[in-house]
A and B are shown apart, each in its own frame.
Chain A
């Protein structure tokens, strides 16, 4: 047996699995999305989505909320990662635990927690009512605010860990050098840390945007059926209306959107790796 054959043997089960459970299913989905009644080629499922104001609204809500969630995760995640990176070792370790414990807990469980917090008599609405900040009929469940709150909590750890991965490799002496040269603290963060942490921030943002655009468990449970996002609409088409070609077409639209977001990022990292 040659070395090459040995390696091929080692790789084979993985390749088979990728083919059977990844590429063939995706191919099947692509085919189904353009398949008409008698196996003919058709664009009717896409046309139906792209001409119906309801589904265009779903698409717009998905993009809008995902962008908002990504921005919020970046705004909270970057300072948090910076604090974790610069905190004393014990504190930093505890903060990492606080970040990854929720990450490792099922999304379903965390969403349940948010349902309790946001429900009519939950912590946040009742506190706001007691403070007299909102009226008696105030509700948070089934609103976009609820979706955003829940999703930011679900996805924040991804952002923190992406940024932290870059920051831990950053030489703290760079900042010290900037400070001794007369830079203020804010200046050193803005001119030294932020530019160097940008790859982590970019990776985290792409990840958060992708995950948020494609998630349906949290939006479904916190937003209800009235505030549908694209992934929830796909889930409905698969499990409730049983319209699989339409579900496939929506998945292709989601796929295309995500490729659109990923493409510039992948090109950028490829360039950085070669240059």
Chain B
């Protein structure tokens, strides 16, 4: 198949692929380069090699508290998204409720609506009803962004599962909870795992909601970086950004071990 492609075209394909790869990776490589540069100012290519920007970041209370907010937020959101989204997907899959199709669309609708639109809605609604925004607002907002991913991945796994297993458990006398816990949940596991990775990654990197719902003391890592970039970017911004890239790489390695990257990325 590939052999039939004319050689000139194959060469063009190689050049194109290489250029696209450079284009896609350039910002990440540049950020990592700047983070180890000895230069006081942001400059690429880097001069020399130093880890002092990393040291500066790890000793900076603003970055540390932002990292703590981000990590706590991402973990809480991931757990809640798994529980709420997993339960919803199981119910939607069974199709016993009237309008299950419509309900499924409803659950996936936050996927197509740009975050900014409901971010400002969330800010306005929360301020009008509950007063100043806080950590709980951020959790709810992130949860809503992550929920459809968990619902979608779990529904996809359930669609390929054996519908008679639960029936069999029922005829063998298993109770409701037992069936859910011992039969349905294990079937959902790959979908829940994929959903968890999506949820953690999206929440940890999310900037739009976090920018709209920010207030002093409630700054996530991406928001802290954004603020630093707007006013006084220095190589320590590159060091934090690189740490975020390393976390992403680590997450990708775990995803590959647990699910396989191909399966994760093309559904």
Chain A CB within 8 A of B65 CB: no
B230 touching A221 by the CB < 8 A rule?
Answer: yes
B140 touching A102 by the CB < 8 A rule?
Answer: no
A116 touching B42 by the CB < 8 A rule?
Answer: yes
B24 touching A11 by the CB < 8 A rule?
Answer: no
A13 touching B88 by the CB < 8 A rule?
Answer: yes
Query: Which applies to chain B's interface (DSSP): helix, strand, loop or mixed?
Result: helix
Closest to A221 in B: B229
A101 touching B88 by the CB < 8 A rule?
Answer: no
B87 touching A13 by the CB < 8 A rule?
Answer: yes
B112 touching A116 by the CB < 8 A rule?
Answer: no
A115 touching B233 by the CB < 8 A rule?
Answer: yes
Contact partner, B144, options A3, A22, A79, Cβ 8 Å: A22
How many residues of B are in contact with the other chain, CB < 8 A?
90
Contact partner, B2, options A7, A86, A113, A235, Cβ 8 Å: A86
Within 8 A of A (CB), among B195-221: 201, 204-208, 211-212
B205 touching A105 by the CB < 8 A rule?
Answer: yes
State the CA gap A30–B88 with chains docked (Å).
28
Within 8 A of B (CB), among A111-141: 111-117, 119, 121-123
Q: How far is the CB of A47 from chain B (nearest CB, A)?
A: 20
State the CA gap A239–B116 with chains docked (Å).
13
Closest to A214 in B: B114
State the CA gap A103–B77 with chains docked (Å).
20
B212 touching A238 by the CB < 8 A rule?
Answer: yes
B118 touching A22 by the CB < 8 A rule?
Answer: yes
State the CA gap A258–B118 with chains docked (Å).
13
Closest to A96 in B: B265
State the CA gap A152–B151 with chains docked (Å).
29
A179 touching B4 by the CB < 8 A rule?
Answer: yes
Residue numbers in A under 8 Å from B120 (CB-CB): 29, 234, 238, 244, 247-248, 251
A113 touching B27 by the CB < 8 A rule?
Answer: yes
A99 touching B91 by the CB < 8 A rule?
Answer: no
Residue numbers in A under 8 Å from B11 (CB-CB): none
A80 touching B2 by the CB < 8 A rule?
Answer: no
Chain B CB within 8 A of A156 CB: yes
Chain B CB within 8 A of A1 CB: yes
Residue numbers in B under 8 Å from A83 (CB-CB): 13, 16-17
State the CA gap A105–B151 with chains docked (Å).
22
User: Which candidate, B50-58, B157-165, B238-246, is the interface stretch facing chain A?
Assistant: B238-246
Chain A CB within 8 A of B34 CB: yes
User: Which candidate, A37-45, A48-56, A164-172, A190-198, is the interface stretch facing chain B?
Assistant: A164-172
Chain B CB within 8 A of A144 CB: no
Within 8 A of A (CB), among B16-30: 16-17, 20-21, 23-30
Within 8 A of B (CB), among A26-83: 26-29, 32, 76, 79-80, 83
State the CA gap A210–B29 with chains docked (Å).
28
Chain A CB within 8 A of B73 CB: no
A98 touching B21 by the CB < 8 A rule?
Answer: yes
Chain A CB within 8 A of B251 CB: yes
Chain B CB within 8 A of A95 CB: yes
Residues 1-23 of A, flagged 1 when their CB comes within 8 A of B and 0 if not, give 10110111011011101101110
Chain A CB within 8 A of B68 CB: no
State the CA gap A79–B85 with chains docked (Å).
35
B125 touching A24 by the CB < 8 A rule?
Answer: yes
Residue numbers in B under 8 Å from A123 (CB-CB): 30, 44
Residue numbers in A under 8 Å from B176 (CB-CB): 1, 6
A101 touching B249 by the CB < 8 A rule?
Answer: yes
Residue numbers in A under 8 Å from B266 (CB-CB): 96, 161, 164-165, 168
Chain B CB within 8 A of A260 CB: no
Chain A CB within 8 A of B257 CB: no
B143 touching A21 by the CB < 8 A rule?
Answer: yes
A108 touching B222 by the CB < 8 A rule?
Answer: yes
State the CA gap A10–B176 with chains docked (Å).
12
Centre residue among B117, B230, B241, B248 by max chain A CB count within 10 A: B117
A217 touching B226 by the CB < 8 A rule?
Answer: yes
Q: How far is the CB of B229 from chain A (nearest CB, A)?
A: 6
Closest to A206 in B: B112
State the CA gap A115–B27 with chains docked (Å).
9
Chain A CB within 8 A of B237 CB: yes
Q: What is the interface of chain B, defined by CB distance below 8 A to chain A?
A: 1-2, 4-6, 9, 13, 16-17, 20-21, 23-31, 34, 42-44, 83-85, 87-88, 90-92, 94, 96-97, 103, 106-107, 109-110, 112-118, 120-126, 128, 140-141, 143-144, 147, 151, 176, 201, 204-208, 211-212, 222, 225-226, 229-230, 233, 237-238, 241, 244-245, 248-249, 251-252, 261-262, 265-267
What are 11 A-B interface contacts by the 8 Å CB criterion?
Answer: A25-B124, A83-B16, A93-B262, A100-B252, A100-B265, A111-B229, A172-B1, A185-B5, A214-B117, A235-B212, A239-B211
